[in-house]
Structure 1
């Protein structure tokens, strides 16, 4: 089932659902003719859309809003915070092309600080599915929860068969490892799968955890990995500050423990635009490059290097 098929099905079954967009119909092209006046396109007005969504939520509706991730998380930030977050209204934010998925777009369209921004909003929940199957598994619970929710939409497909038992606030433990465990969310899950295969072929015991619920986060999963794995790797298409690396650090400090952590993230800079496969190779985020860096670190036993390659001159 696709994102659009799922949303159509749920909206037809429950008249509380209203589908909204700020002139971004990529995910919902066929819904207007199905839902009629329960489909609202406000035009290129993300702030207006969120304000209207909050008003609808106050009247018992469940608005599912759509816009580019960069504009939904930044341009409309104050409205999301004040109109949806603080009053704890069930406004659902479907963010299109987050992180590396904006591939050929420049910095203005790159949402690489969105997790940090959204998880700082009171009552806001934050999710980042690994692929399309993960996405449609997670969304029914997210949409039916009483809280506002920010979802990094990911309709890419992988060969991995996810657990059908999704629970808000719980990670998906794919495998456990005593040498290395990779914590990842979103579209980089497929690269993590490749890296795990390479590392296992090198004789390492490798774990993989899909951190698909970022707020609330599965603290117990993080603590277990920190206690049982020699090296913890955080992998994300996001700034180093405020994302998974920060979440792990906060969790360890809160619980008065520590771990050997190697982060893969953008160090306060945007990525070089290009075709998705090319930009990931340029930035050092392919499965092969991830595995090589982990192998180099475990072999040399040096401190983690968090500064990734700079733009070419």
Structure 2
């Protein structure tokens, strides 16, 4: 059965330029040491050293695929990612494990909820966020084949949705909506689909767009969504620097505007718990999202960030 590890193993067998690296986080690549031999490198809990070594390998013509917890990969090693991979434009492929709400039971130190913001600010860095395992498997070959450094919010959750083929810089338009268009990425795609079903049952015409490529971003998808009466940006990330900021930047760039409701975390970390409880407590279930949108539609509220209203 194909999964992330199987896909990476197959890719590395077919191309000996690939080197798999980890900073003692083998959850995604547990069986690869036996299959890749000296092309599997575990540096221990040394994310900065790992990035420096990856840059050296890339300078020698290798393609390092680099694994660590998303929070440590993007923050502890930030300067090394920026300077060694980004500025040099080397093809280091960063696979961030348990980003956003996927770190569910972990506290603030392990929560990567500003990773999109800081990674997309790095020169030459590209940023991606698969919606689920099917999306992940369709996206990674193109990401690994790109000559640029890349950061991916790894998501191995299984869903029943079958995604369209992936193209760098292109969003996946699931549906178009006149009343509401939900722009989302990663884990929140599941909840966006639930919310859309609830809203459609209320008679609204709802669009859902999987913004799987956050940098480069599909500006046309954003501009098309802006034609809806309401655009919702939905993300398990701080509101600053994430999709809401990307949408704002895009609209300003094209000298247009839209009615935008951001649903994101507002400078506050989420309460650790099992994932269903995290979503419920923080107000990010499909039902709660739909209720928020319906409330906006009927009451004409000003767009407010869903900022942990359910917290004590």
Q: Distance in 1 between matches of 2:204 and 2:224?
A: 18
Question: Which sections of structure 1, spanning at least 5 residues, go unmatched?
Answer: none
Which secondary structure does the structure 2 equivalent of 1:264 belong to? Answer: strand
Q: Distance in 2 between matches of 1:309 and 1:86?
A: 36
Which secondary structure does the structure 2 equivalent of 1:186 belong to? Answer: coil
Q: Distance in 2 between matches of 1:90 and 1:233?
A: 33
The residue aligned with 2:171 is 171
CA contact (8 A) 1:238 1:266 kept: yes
CA contact (8 A) 1:24 1:68 kept: yes
Which secondary structure does the structure 1 equivalent of 2:272 belong to? Answer: coil
Q: Distance in 2 between matches of 1:261 and 1:143?
A: 33
Q: Does 1:243 align with 2:242?
A: yes
Matches within 5 A, 1:24-43: 24-43=25-44
Shift of 1:25: 0.1
The residue aligned with 1:203 is 203
TM-score normalised by structure 2 residue count:
0.99
The residue aligned with 1:44 is 45
What's the Cα RMSD here? 0.8
Matches within 5 A, 1:116-195: 116-164=117-165, 166-195=166-195
Which secondary structure does the structure 1 equivalent of 2:276 belong to? Answer: helix
TM-score normalised by structure 1 residue count:
0.98
Q: Does 1:22 align with 2:49?
A: no
CA contact (8 A) 1:272 1:311 kept: no
The residue aligned with 1:74 is 75
Q: Distance in 2 between matches of 1:307 and 1:131?
A: 23
Which secondary structure does the structure 1 equivalent of 2:200 belong to? Answer: helix
The residue aligned with 1:7 is 8
Q: Distance in 2 between matches of 1:111 and 1:18?
A: 25
Q: Distance in 2 between matches of 1:203 and 1:188?
A: 23
The residue aligned with 1:106 is 107
Shift of 1:308: 2.1
CA contact (8 A) 2:222 2:250 kept: yes
Q: Deviations over 1:174-217 (max 9, x none)?
A: 00000000000001100111001000000000000000000000
Q: Distance in 2 between matches of 1:312 and 1:124?
A: 35
Q: Deviations over 1:103-160 (max 9, x none)?
A: 0000000000000000000000000000000001000010010000000000001111
Q: How many residues align?
A: 311
Q: Distance in 1 between matches of 2:309 and 2:293?
A: 19
Q: Distance in 2 between matches of 1:199 and 1:160?
A: 19
Matches within 5 A, 1:271-290: 271-290=270-289
Which secondary structure does the structure 1 equivalent of 2:187 belong to? Answer: helix
Shift of 1:310: 4.6
Q: Deviations over 1:1-51 (max 9, x none)?
A: 200000000000000000000000000000000000000000000000000
Q: Distance in 1 between matches of 2:194 and 2:151?
A: 28
CA contact (8 A) 1:231 1:259 kept: yes
Q: Distance in 1 between matches of 2:305 and 2:284?
A: 13
Q: Distance in 2 between matches of 1:246 and 1:25?
A: 33
CA contact (8 A) 2:268 2:308 kept: no
Q: Deviations over 1:191-245 (max 9, x none)?
A: 1110010000000000000000000000011001102x10000000000000000
Q: Distance in 2 between matches of 1:44 and 1:122?
A: 26
Which secondary structure does the structure 1 equivalent of 2:269 belong to? Answer: coil
Q: Distance in 1 between matches of 2:160 and 2:287?
A: 18
CA contact (8 A) 1:3 1:136 kept: yes
Which secondary structure does the structure 2 equivalent of 1:63 belong to? Answer: strand
Question: Which sections of structure 2, spanning at least 5 residues, go unmatched?
Answer: none
